[in-house]
Amino acid sequence: MPKRILRVLFRARRAILLTCIGMWVIAAVATHLPAPEVSGIHVSDKLLHFAGFLVLTSLFWLSLLAYASPARRRVPTVLIVMILYALVDETTQSFVRRTPEVGDWLSDMLGTVTAVLLWESIAGLLRLGPIHHLPGPPTL
């Protein structure tokens, strides 16, 4: 089963990467639009930050796995990129009349760490290693 999963990821690596980039663009734009006034819907913005970074980190992690990044490089890369992105995202919100908050950044980090722990645990349980040893698509 692990080899089958790795083959699927390998073949879908471009789609995974494009999805990751697309979601990242959507998230960056959404967090820099003026905050909407929505009445009747009460969702914690900390929960939204957590969920958003859980999804972004998951897509980024899957992209790196699909492109054969070993765990010893994948984990620090994901953590460093997501920490820096969250810092930039929070600090630049003040330019569009939104309020940067340390609590939001902490929620972002909690979503990031949760995603990394979840995916690395799954990869460890399934013994998913780097994909570079898999044969490429057949040539015609």
pTM for this entry: 0.83
Q: Is residue 75 part of a domain?
A: yes
The predicted structure's pLDDT at residue 139:
46
Q: Is residue 21 part of a domain?
A: yes
Split at pLDDT 50, 70, 90, the class of 84 is very high
Region 68-93 average pLDDT: 93
CB 98 within 8 A of CB 34: yes
Q: Is residue 135 part of a domain?
A: no
Q: Is residue 64 part of a domain?
A: yes
Domains contained in the chain, number: 1
The predicted structure's pLDDT at residue 132:
46
The residue count of the chain comes to 140
Spatial separation of the C-alpha atoms in residues 75 and 127, rounded to whole Å: 16
Q: Is residue 133 part of a domain?
A: no
Q: Is residue 139 part of a domain?
A: no
Mean pLDDT estimate for the chain: 85
73 lies in which domain range? Answer: 2-33+45-126
Percent with pLDDT over 70 in the chain: 85
Nearest to 61 by CA among 1, 2, 27, 19: 19
Q: Is residue 60 part of a domain?
A: yes
pLDDT digits (tens, 9 = 90+) for 16-37: 999 999 999 999 998 888 766 5
Split at pLDDT 50, 70, 90, the class of 40 is low
CA–CA distance from 106 to each of 20, 50, 53, 57, 103 (Å)? 22, 9, 11, 14, 5
Region 49-58 average pLDDT: 96
pLDDT digits (tens, 9 = 90+) for 98-117: 888 899 999 999 999 999 99
Q: Is residue 6 part of a domain?
A: yes
